């Protein structure tokens, strides 16, 4: 009881002016970069507060020890100070220098120990001797430090004084939620995660892209669909969110995306939803296949990020993931080398563009039923067809015929675009003209949601 | 009320002798060529009368102003005379010289006008300066002439006397219908159009092929299926026909073809039905894939000819189109260059052959249910299997085994032909032997029609 | 009434020691080779008795004249003596010299005839002049001899004394059945045939492989599924067996294989079941695709061996056939050249291995339903997930995630293996861990059987 509470004031967005500038993105990146984030704690809340300047959001706080499906929300982690003094008194592995140094969720410890004793608590990567690894221990209490293999190798024998001033308290897990309502009932989910400390492609890129994407959508003249943005810690955050909103999403979700790893790499990657050919997959492919560089398309696999939860068999939601260089597939992944140098602000900006185009496809897509399904309607009398019969047909006429013939309640405009090779805006334009001429009825979004969220085959 | 009337006497066909000769086809072509046809009028009726000599048909007259679905049958067009006198008194653009000169369905006009005024009513093709284009204006009243760009460029300034003696009267739209009854309930539709004036591949080829095809079928020793031949003006004719016979076709049609553009081009083209894999598609492919030249196979698209009406979403009938050089895909299309020189009578003849083979496939095709479905029947005791077991099996035995194993009520002989690589006649022969030995029941054509005309998936 | 009787005592198998040795297989081959087998008779019973030493089996005797579906069990054939004396008194074509010499199921005959009269009863292969063909005449009474073309060509004119001391008596048809029970309800069928006389690849290989396969399975520590081994004469034997056990198999059969032609040829061949993608096909492909040599995969065709009966439309059971050099596809087929020299004992042994692996796949395969389908379960708290979050995931973790995500009651482990590329044992291991942690329920074999034996689509 009472374990979920809403906080924050998602009032009117700063809806003036142009899309974000490169400088604005970079500034936001620089402010978020040094914050020590984890799956709970003030670092997450500070991050959500900064993101709220771009994407005003509610904050949902889920109390520690709340049961969420098979899980229990862990205690909130407080990290005040962490460092080591070498035998010569040098202060090293200070979390203020690089927040990857402290094992994320580390237990507290204070004491003087030998080089050998210290070593049992160190994490490094022999095969990448310059990189500090990102290591966590959420569900078992241990203390530790992460450092480069080179630094580790250079630590002399002697006594080391270890200071880890951390705490695990009864607190809460923080989720940011920003819903941009549309005219109808269908929803689109944009989910990203906020638990990674100073890491760039994976993962400051996701929250940054999601936040600016939100601002762009907030400035659209109108929205047909509702866009739900979720900023949550990975895994436990998505699970907590689904325990709160899962039933709603099962009824209303048309398409969703996990936004992650969108700051580095030339080529886009689509990881398909578990069902494989949902509207989320089709809309993403429609956009990605029209980019200059051919996308990489992967079938669903149950490793990865929060699509693991959205696409768990009991939910099996239409959620895909559009990425650039995917987690696990680039050498800097989960190390200190996944930093500002690896990431490109221009790539981030392009990722915002691509996601906005995908969402425009979703907002534009519709399903129609012809009001004159027996033979073609008389188009000329409605000013929709040239009255002079020549051998040339216009692309508008072509689009009209495609839209009318496939207005069977089964095909949506995206299907027609795939069948015809005609662009979605042209089809939407033709459909609008037919609709205005009362030749078409639109399938309601409620039916649409019901159709999309059928149990998977 | 009373807007549909039957006329003509479709009595016994001239059912003697061999298939049509090249000369006979050519003669018919030459008689039909000069007639000024349009979507209504005496030209159509004269054309149907001549075709009736080969394919005796009923004439259906649909009164002007009759509502047919979303359309209204237009007034009947009467064209008595049309020409222009140049400033020097030369008579040009005379419809009697080339009936493409007169804008089809042109409004009447009589008067003396300047070169510049005349020009607003002229249609030519700058990119093909020798060709007279075929232009129509059915649904807006305007007058005009069509001519080659070269002729247009050579018209001097001065006063021109224009004479267009046409009329739009309360009359009717004429459709020819010739039904060759079969032993059962299933029907095949052969639909072609009769509204094009002096044009050859598109379109005198369709009516010619359909007429001779009709005569060949009338001479078959027996027909299992009913073959319905329709000669109607394009679009409005097919719509009027569907308003009259659509419900019947929904119940009885097994397969249909729009016969058009069958007089020029080496290679055959199949435009699939909207459903894509109906019996019409399968039978056509079965024949076309066995021709020396690989066919071109196109998925359905909602431009084209009367398949637009047959495959409109409310009907979605199993209607495909087998063509040679398709409308819109050759440079002479809808110009005076689509003439006797472009067309080949031998190609017309071959098109008749190919269509007859497709119809034979349909007539031969059947679906069976085994009366001994549990294990094989004992064939040797029925004289259907060699009693000497050697390592060679005959092709008759192979065909028997295929037919018996797939006599499950789901696969028809065409399916078995595709699965086995055995020819349809061999399978039909084996099936007949099994049927005669009371090993098989035939699925009735009524069930067959019901199965074929299920709503599309 | 009383036409089926059980005989024999299928008591405890000799379940000690290692898999069969090459010598043991060869010894059994050598004992079985010279026996004159046919579709009925003592030769079959002697064969079953010898095979019973390896695979203890029941014998089912089906009386002559019993009706089995459309067939009647033929009389039992007794062949005591058969030979010819040449004009010079030389004894040739003696069935004791090569039992292929006597036309199988030959009628009796005794008399002195001319060379020309004899010739009408001779069978040879002009295109393979050294080979004695294997010829049968089960369903028409005739007498005859088979011999090489060379021998035939060398027979001089003169009087020949023919002795064929055979009989067709009221007896029975003999089937061996050996059922190895499993813990649950699902069954696997291994069917092979015992009617071929001295022929090696086709067919002593099948009974030999089936018998040793049975012994291996009898030594498995446990079996989940029930394994049903059938040794029956081809065609009539399978039909008789289905008339006895067909209804049971329709309810309980998960997968089955016709074991034939498994003694010669480097490459394996899968002939798919009629349904094409049953568990039998999938399990076989899972194993065959992992062999060094790519298998040959054929779609079902209704010629061949007893899959013709198992896959007749009324049964349509999930029965495939895994072979090496297939009947009809090698020159020695059904001649005296299909002998010990053609066959390789090592190949036989490998075939036993491959079949055992396929059966292990079937025994291992399971279908699960997650008990925590909404989001992932918390694995770390159950000791199933590393508590230290690093960037490496173990293959065990990967397998866990795949198994859990696809524990939807629709996908079985074989599906997951195909989707994930993870080996079946690894998946089974992960599934077992999840099951033990009460994260999964297993779909019962009864439901499994029901699902597998749905009417084909």
Ordered per-residue pLDDT tens for chain A, 457 residues: 334 443 333 333 333 346 899 999 999 999 999 999 999 999 999 999 999 999 999 999 999 999 999 999 999 999 999 999 999 999 999 999 999 999 999 999 999 999 999 999 999 999 999 999 999 999 999 999 999 999 999 999 999 999 999 999 999 999 999 999 999 889 999 999 999 999 999 989 999 999 999 999 999 999 999 999 999 999 999 999 999 999 999 999 999 999 999 999 999 999 999 999 999 999 999 999 999 999 999 999 999 999 999 999 999 999 999 999 999 999 999 999 999 999 999 999 999 999 999 999 999 999 999 999 999 999 998 989 888 888 777 889 999 999 999 999 999 999 999 999 999 999 999 999 999 999 999 997 666 666 555 444 3
Q: What is the Cα–Cα distance from C427 to C416, expressed in whole angstroms?
A: 8
Helix (DSSP H) and strand (DSSP E) numbers for chain B:
13, 20
**Disruptive mutation site among A368, A371, A375 for chain B (greatest number of B CBs within 10 Å):** A375
Q: What is the Cα–Cα distance from B232 to B240, expressed in whole angstroms?
A: 9
Task: Please write the tens of the pLDDT for every residue from C61-115.
Answer: 999 999 999 999 999 999 999 999 999 999 999 999 999 999 999 999 999 999 9
What is the arrangement of strands in the sheet containing B440-442, beginning at the earlier edge strand?
B408-412, B367-370, B440-442
Number of alpha carbons in the 13 Å side-chain half-sphere of residue A259: 34
Q: What is the Cα–Cα distance from B115 to B232, expressed in whole angstroms?
A: 38
Can you name the residues that pair with B335 across neighbouring β-strands?
Answer: B133
Nearest in space to B45 (alpha carbons), one of B81, B77, B2, B85: B77
C127 Rama class: left (phi>0) / alpha (psi -120 to 50) / beta: alpha
Sequence-separated (6 or more) residues with CB below 8 Å from residue B402: B416, B419, B420, B422, B427, B430, C301, C302
Q: Could you tell me the pLDDT band of residue C5, with boundaries at 50, 70 and 90?
A: very low
C139 to chain B, closest Cα gap in Å: 6
3-state secondary structure of B289: coil
Q: Which residues of A touch B311 (CB under 8 A)?
A: 405
Q: What is the mean pLDDT of chain C?
A: 92
Which residue of chain B has the CA closest to C240? B375
Count Cβ atoms within 10 A of the Cβ of residue A371 and give its class: 0-12 exposed, 13-18 middle, 19 or more buried.
middle
3-state secondary structure of C350: helix
Sequence-separated (6 or more) residues with CB below 8 Å from residue C315: B373, B374, B375, C242, C246, C249, C250, C309
Q: What is the Cα–Cα distance from C212 to C22, expressed in whole angstroms?
A: 11
* Assigned token pair, C154: 């060398």
Cα angle A180-A185-A187, degrees, rounded to a multiple of 5: 55
A441 to chain B, closest Cα gap in Å: 14
Contact check, Cβ <8 Å, C370/A309: no
- H-helix or E-strand spanning residue B47: helix B42-54
Higher-scoring residue by pLDDT: C413, C454: C413
ipTM of the complex: 0.91
Residue-level pLDDT at A243: 98
Contact check, Cβ <8 Å, C389/A315: no
Residue-level pLDDT at B403: 97
* Assigned token pair, A229: 């943005």
Q: Is the dihedral of CA C172, C173, C178, C181 positive or negative?
A: negative
Contact B274, B300 (CB under 8 A): yes
Q: Which residues of A touch C387 (CB under 8 A)?
A: 137-140, 142
Contact check, Cβ <8 Å, B314/A402: no
Q: Could you tell me the pLDDT band of residue C231, with boundaries at 50, 70 and 90?
A: very high
- Residue position matching structure tokens 């989707």: C419
Q: What is the mean pLDDT of residues B376-399?
A: 88
Residue-level pLDDT at B389: 82
Measure Cα distances from A12 to A52, C235, C429 in Å: 11, 81, 54
Residue-level pLDDT at A391: 76
Q: Which residues of A touch B302 (CB under 8 A)?
A: 401-402, 404-406
- Residue position matching structure tokens 């093709």: B125
Weakest-pLDDT range from B183-187, B341-345, C438-442: B183-187
Q: Which residues of B touch A391 (CB under 8 A)?
A: 133-134, 328, 333-335
Tally Cβ neighbours within 10 Å of residue C112: 11
Q: Residue C13 pLDDT more than 50?
A: no
Chain C residue set in contact with B, beta carbons under 8 Å:
68-72, 104, 123, 133-140, 142, 235, 238-239, 242-243, 246, 274, 299, 301-303, 308-309, 311-316, 328, 333-335
C386 to chain A, closest Cα gap in Å: 9
**Rg of chain A on CA atoms, in Å:** 25
Q: Which chains touch A (3 or more CB pairs under 8 A)?
A: B, C
Q: Which residues of C touch B389 (CB under 8 A)?
A: 104, 135-138
Which residue of chain A has the CA closest to C393? A303
**Disruptive mutation site among A66, A123, A139 for chain C (greatest number of C CBs within 10 Å):** A139
Contact check, Cβ <8 Å, A405/B333: no
How many residues appear in chain A?
A: 457
Task: Please write the tens of the pLDDT for every residue from B11-41.
Answer: 333 333 468 999 999 999 999 999 999 999 9
- Kindly state the DSSP code that residue C125 receives in the 8-state scheme: -
Residue-level pLDDT at B350: 96
* Assigned token pair, A393: 């047909």
Task: Please write the tens of the pLDDT for every residue from C323-351.
Answer: 999 999 999 999 999 999 999 999 999 99
The b-or-e profile of B101-124 (16+ CB within 10 A means b, else e) is bbbbbbbbbeeebeeeebeebbbb
Nearest in space to C258 (alpha carbons), one of C19, C266, C242: C242
What is the arrangement of strands in the sheet containing A109-114, beginning at the earlier edge strand?
A91-92, A76-85, A159-169, A109-114
Share of chain B above pLDDT 70, in %: 93
Q: How many CB pairs under 8 A join A and C?
A: 91
Measure Cα distances from C79 to A299, C37, C102, C109, C164 in Å: 64, 10, 9, 12, 8
Task: Please write the tens of the pLDDT for every residue from B439-448.
Answer: 999 997 666 6
Q: Which residues of A touch B136 (CB under 8 A)?
A: 388-389
B250 to chain C, closest Cα gap in Å: 25
A239 to chain C, closest Cα gap in Å: 6
Contact C257, C321 (CB under 8 A): yes
Q: How many CB pairs under 8 A join A and B?
A: 91
Tally Cβ neighbours within 10 Å of residue A22: 11
Task: Please write the tens of the pLDDT for every residue from C24-36.
Answer: 999 999 999 999 9
C70, C104, C315 member nearest B378 (Cβ): C70
Q: Which residues of C touch B388 (CB under 8 A)?
A: 135-137, 140, 142
Can you name the residues that pair with C178 across neighbouring β-strands?
Answer: C229
Q: What is the Cα–Cα distance from B271 to B258, expressed in whole angstroms?
A: 10
Higher-scoring residue by pLDDT: B386, C255: C255
Residue-level pLDDT at B453: 52
B50 φ/ψ angles, rounded to the nearest 5 degrees = -65, -45
* Assigned token pair, A297: 């398309």
Nearest in space to A167 (alpha carbons), one of A80, A233, A82: A80
Q: What is the mean pLDDT of residues C232-253?
A: 97
Task: Please write the tens of the pLDDT for every residue from C403-442.
Answer: 999 999 999 999 999 999 999 999 999 999 999 999 999 9
**Disruptive mutation site among A371, A373, A374 for chain B (greatest number of B CBs within 10 Å):** A374
Q: Which residues of A touch C374 (CB under 8 A)?
A: 69, 242-243, 246, 312, 314-315
Contact check, Cβ <8 Å, C235/B376: yes
Q: Which residues of C touch B421 (CB under 8 A)?
A: none
Cα angle C255-C256-C262, degrees, rounded to a multiple of 5: 135
Residue-level pLDDT at C8: 35
Q: DSSP alpha helices (H): ranges in A315-436?
A: 345-364, 395-405, 413-420, 424-436
What is the arrangement of strands in the sheet containing B159-169, beginning at the earlier edge strand?
B91-92, B76-85, B159-169, B109-114
Q: Which residues of A touch C407 (CB under 8 A)?
A: 313
Number of alpha carbons in the 13 Å side-chain half-sphere of residue A145: 29
Residue-level pLDDT at C445: 66
Q: What is the Cα–Cα distance from C391 to C393, expressed in whole angstroms?
A: 7
**Strand ranges, E, within A223-272:** 226-232, 253-258, 269-271
Task: Please write the tens of the pLDDT for every residue from B124-140.
Answer: 999 999 999 999 999 99
The b-or-e profile of A431-456 (16+ CB within 10 A means b, else e) is bebbbebebbeebebeebbeebbeeb
**Disruptive mutation site among C70, C309, C314 for chain B (greatest number of B CBs within 10 Å):** C70
Weakest-pLDDT range from B11-15, B91-95, B293-297: B11-15
């Amino acid at each position: 009881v009472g374990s979920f509470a809403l906080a924050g004031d998602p009032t009117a967005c700063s809806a003036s002016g142009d899309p974000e500038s490169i400088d604005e993105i970079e500034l936001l990146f620089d402010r978020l970069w040094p914050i020590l984030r984890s799956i709970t704690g003030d670092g997450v809340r500070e991050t959500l507060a900064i993101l709220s300047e771009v994407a005003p959001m509610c904050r949902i706080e889920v109390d520690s020890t709340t049961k969420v499906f098979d899980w229990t929300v862990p205690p909130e982690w407080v990290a005040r100070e962490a460092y080591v003094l070498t035998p010569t008194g040098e202060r090293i592995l200070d979390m203020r220098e690089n927040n990857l140094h402290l094992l994320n969720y580390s237990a507290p410890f204070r004491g003087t120990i030998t080089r050998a004793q210290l070593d049992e608590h160190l994490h490094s990567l022999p095969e990448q001797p310059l990189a500090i690894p990102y290591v966590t221990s959420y569900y078992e209490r241990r203390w530790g430090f992460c450092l480069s293999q080179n630094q580790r190798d250079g630590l002399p024998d002697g006594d080391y004084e270890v200071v880890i001033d951390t705490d695990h308290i009864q607190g809460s897990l923080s989720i940011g939620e920003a819903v941009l309502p549309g005219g109808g009932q269908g929803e689109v989910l944009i989910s990203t995660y906020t638990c990674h400390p100073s890491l760039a492609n994976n993962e400051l890129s996701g929250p940054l892209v999601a936040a600016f994407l939100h601002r762009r959508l907030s400035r659209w003249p109108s929205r047909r669909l509702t866009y739900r943005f979720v900023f949550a810690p990975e895994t436990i955050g998505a699970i907590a969110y689904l325990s709160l909103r899962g039933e709603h999403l099962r009824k209303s979700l048309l398409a969703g995306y996990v936004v992650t790893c969108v700051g580095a790499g030339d080529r886009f990657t689509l990881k398909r939803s578990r069902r494989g050919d949902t509207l989320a997959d089709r809309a993403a492919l429609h956009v990605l296949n029209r980019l200059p560089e051919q996308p990489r398309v992967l079938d669903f696999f149950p490793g990865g990020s929060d699509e693991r939860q959205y696409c768990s068999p009991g939910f099996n939601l239409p959620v895909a993931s559009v990425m650039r260089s995917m987690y696990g597939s680039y050498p800097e992944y989960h190390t200190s080398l996944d930093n500002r140098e690896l990431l490109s602000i221009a790539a981030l900006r392009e990722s915002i563009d691509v996601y906005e185009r995908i969402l425009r496809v979703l907002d534009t897509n519709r399903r129609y039923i012809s009001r004159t399904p027996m033979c073609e309607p008389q188009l000329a009398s409605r000013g929709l067809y040239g009255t002079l019969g020549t051998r040339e047909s216009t692309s508008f006429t072509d689009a009209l015929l495609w839209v009318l013939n496939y207005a069977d309640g089964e095909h949506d405009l995206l299907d027609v675009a795939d069948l015809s090779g005609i662009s979605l805006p042209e089809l939407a334009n033709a459909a609008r003209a037919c609709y205005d001429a009362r030749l078409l009825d639109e399938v309601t979004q409620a039916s649409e949601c019901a159709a999309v969220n059928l149990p998977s085959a």
